[in-house]
Amino acid sequence: MNIFIRNMVASTAFITFTMLLSHVTVAAESNDSIDTKAIRLQLQRYEQALNDSDAESVMQLYAEDAVAMPQNSNPLVGRDSLRAAVTAGFKAVKLNVKFVIDEIQPLSSAWAYARTRSTGTINVLGSDGLPNLEANQEIFLFHKESDGEWRVARYIFSTTNPAAIN
């Protein structure tokens, strides 16, 4: 009888532990889903801010120490550098872009990346020329900041348009 009770207690403990572990796994997957949705929302906000030429809304999506690495340019390090480039860019062109989110992958509770593509047009302001086609592929590295918001910590992109042949 003593062995029977001991086996029952051990079995009950194992089942309880397994059930608790499964709840922890489900909670982690739920958090990933919540984080993925939050990052998706930030990317949608980014798209809207670009199309609205809204530099302040763009900047709210970047971390204070963010780094952007545009094609054929030196890195833009920090929010002040990014703000200057974004503001100058919006004075020169009008964007009409659409993002496709190919993947969002959490790396930890505070880091994740997103791989996207964008297509659309760029109109040079003050020009009567036709809009230029825009097509890029992008990697965003997001950091969950102390206020709970996911912000862009690193951003790199390159064109997917074919090279011009002269």
**Is the per-residue pLDDT at 54 higher than 90?**
yes
Query: Which of 41, 22, 43, 21 has the alpha carbon at shortest distance from 33?
Result: 41
Average pLDDT over residues 11-26: 36
pTM for the full predicted model:
0.78
Please tell me the predicted confidence (pLDDT) of residue 32.
55
**What is the residue-averaged pLDDT of the chain?**
84
Domains of the chain: 2-159 (3.10.450.50)
DSSP string, the chain: -HHHHHHHHHHHHHHHHHHHHHHHHHHHHHHHHHHHHHHHHHHHHHHHHHHTT-HHHHHHTEEEEEEEE-TTS--EESHHHHHHHHHHHHHHEEEEEEEEEEEEEE-SSSEEEEEEEEEEEEEETT--SPPEEEEEEEEEEEEE-TTS-EEEEEEEEEE-SPPP--
